[in-house]
Amino acid sequence: MRLSRWFTPSTTASAHCDLPCGVYDPAQARIEAESIKAIIAKVEGNDDPDFRTRAIVIKEQRSELVKHHLWVLWTDYFKAPHFEKYPQLHTLFNEATKLAGATGTKGALDAKVADQLLEKIDQIAEIFAETKKA
C-alpha cells in the first residue's frame, strides 16, 4: 500500500491541540528531527558561508519544534499511570529535549548528535506504541 508509510485509517496523530482532541503522534517530533539531519548533510556538501548561516537559522527553528512536540507528548499525552509503568520516561523526555537544544542539535552541525536525538525519539515512540496497545 503506497500510503502505508504515512498513515493508516485508524491513525492517531498529534497536534498541539490541548482541547484535548486526543490525537497524538511522535511522528511530528521525528519529522523535524529528520529535517535537522538533512540540514546537517546539506551543509557538509556546501561551503558557501551564506548557506551555512541559513542552515544554522533553520536548524535552530526545527530543533525548537522538536522540543515543542516532545514537550506536548510529555505533558498532554502521557499520564501518571504511564510514568509509574515506565519509570524511565521522565528522564528519557528530559534527555531528548536537551538533545534538541543548545547542548544538542542547536549547538552543533554534527550528524552524530542528530542521530542521538532520533534514537531518543524512537525510544519514546516505542513506549508510546505500547501505551496505545494497552
Closest CA to 93 of 115, 66, 113, 65: 66
Give, to the nearest 10 degrees, the angle between helix 111-133 and helix 89-99.
150
C-alpha torsion sign, points 9, 30, 32, 40: negative
CA distance 113 to 97: 12
CB of 111 to a second copy, least distance (A): 13
CA distance 89 to 70: 12
Q: What is the DSSP letter of 16?
A: S
Applying CB under 8 A, which of residues 73, 97, 114, 117 lies at the interface with a second copy? Answer: 97
Q: Per CB under 8 A, does 105 bind a second copy?
A: no
Q: What is the DSSP letter of 2?
A: T
25-84 residues near a second copy, rule: CB under 8 A: 25-28, 30-32, 34-35, 38-39, 42, 50-58, 60, 62, 64-65, 67, 71, 74-76, 83
Q: Per CB under 8 A, does 112 bind a second copy?
A: no
CB of 85 to a second copy, least distance (A): 14
**Footprint of a second copy (CB under 8 A):** 2-8, 11-15, 17-23, 25-28, 30-32, 34-35, 38-39, 42, 50-58, 60, 62, 64-65, 67, 71, 74-76, 83, 90-91, 94, 97-98, 101-103, 106-109, 122, 125-126, 129-130, 133
